């Protein structure tokens, strides 16, 4: 008997609490559609907007979301600048290697000419290796 009484009292309190926290629909004003009400599993009413676009905000209002978007943009810009700088560096290194190779070849040819004489100057066929 006491279990049934406790069950009835608990049910009554739950119903009263749910009714106290339930939302009441607002009347439509100036052509604004009133939200549809759908019952919840526990008997509470929740409002659901009729336009699904109303769920998304036009701009980010959360400061953490704004910071995250700004950080993502800054990181993307940094990666792009880093990639451009890296390709420019590689181009400079390639040019420097080409110039170094040409200078070494010119210095090597000049050294050979000084040691053995110019092969174009001696036309007698008496060339030294």
pLDDT tens, N- to C-terminus, the chain (129 residues): 788 888 788 887 787 677 767 755 555 555 555 555 555 556 555 565 566 555 555 566 899 999 999 999 999 999 999 999 999 999 999 999 999 999 999 999 999 999 987 555 445 555 555
Q: Is 27 within the bounds of a domain?
A: no
Which one, of 46, 50, 44, lies nearest residue 28 by Cα?
50
Q: Is 16 within the bounds of a domain?
A: no
Cα 110 to the center of its chain, rounded Å: 57
* pLDDT for residue 104: 97
What range defines the domain where residue 110 resides? 88-118
Q: Is 102 within the bounds of a domain?
A: yes
Q: Is 99 within the bounds of a domain?
A: yes
pTM: 0.38
Domain count, the chain: 1
Q: How many CB atoms lie within 10 A of CB 2?
A: 6
Q: Is 103 within the bounds of a domain?
A: yes
């Amino acid at each position: 008997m006491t279990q049934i009484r406790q069950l009835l009292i608990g049910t009554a309190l739950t119903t009263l609490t749910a009714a106290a926290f339930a939302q009441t629909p607002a009347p439509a004003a100036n052509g604004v559609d009133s939200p549809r009400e759908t019952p919840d599993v526990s008997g509470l009413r929740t409002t659901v907007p009729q336009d699904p676009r109303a769920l998304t905000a036009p701009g980010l209002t959360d400061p953490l979301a704004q910071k995250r978007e700004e950080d993502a943009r800054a990181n993307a810009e940094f990666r792009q600048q880093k990639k451009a700088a890296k390709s420019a560096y590689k181009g400079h290194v390639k040019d420097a290697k080409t110039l170094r190779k040409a200078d070494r070849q010119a210095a090597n040819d000049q050294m050979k000419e000084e040691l053995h004489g110019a092969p174009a100057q001696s036309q007698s066929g008496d060339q030294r290796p």
